[in-house]
Amino acid sequence: MNLAPGTYRLTKDIPAPMPDKRERHDWRKAPVPAGTLFAIRDESYWAPGLLTVARLRGFSTHSLSVSDPRARALLEALEAVDETPSLWLLREQSDNSALDILDHLQRTGQITLDAVKSALHCIHPPRFVLPQTEGGPHGPAD
């Protein structure tokens, strides 16, 4: 099993690699649905064949040996996905670094605050807009 570091999507539902009915949120101990995203990091500098596997957007990180039969079903059902900057950040740093990166890009002139605001409005349009009346949104000025 040769998985390069990257982001992977589970192609099918798999049973829990290490079942334990007392745990519902640990992906190793509960069934994992198809479509779940995982980050794979190579940890072979600690031990040959060791991978760190983290469920993205849930951050349950555990080391698995590629030779462990309990991990085989999971590892065989993963397919690489094209990483977006956000997926790469989740895998490499966690999403906490995103704010620092945006500030750095603005300081170095690679992005503007207006561009960030525009992107935000495209992703999350305002839910409602207050009606504009004479004197502003609160009515005429006295």
pTM over cut 0.75: no
Q: Tell me the three state secondary structure of residue 47.
A: coil
Domains and CATH numbers, the chain: 6-84 (2.30.30), 96-126 (no CATH)
**Per-residue pLDDT reduced to its tens digit, 3-43:** 788 899 999 998 877 778 787 667 777 788 899 888 887 66
How many CB atoms sit inside 10 A of residue 14's CB? 19
Query: Which pLDDT band, with edges at 50, 70 and 90, does 47 fall under?
Result: low
- In DSSP notation, 82-121 reads PPPHHHHHHHHT-TTHHHHHHHHHHHTTSS-HHHHHHHHH
Q: Note the pLDDT of residue 60.
A: 61
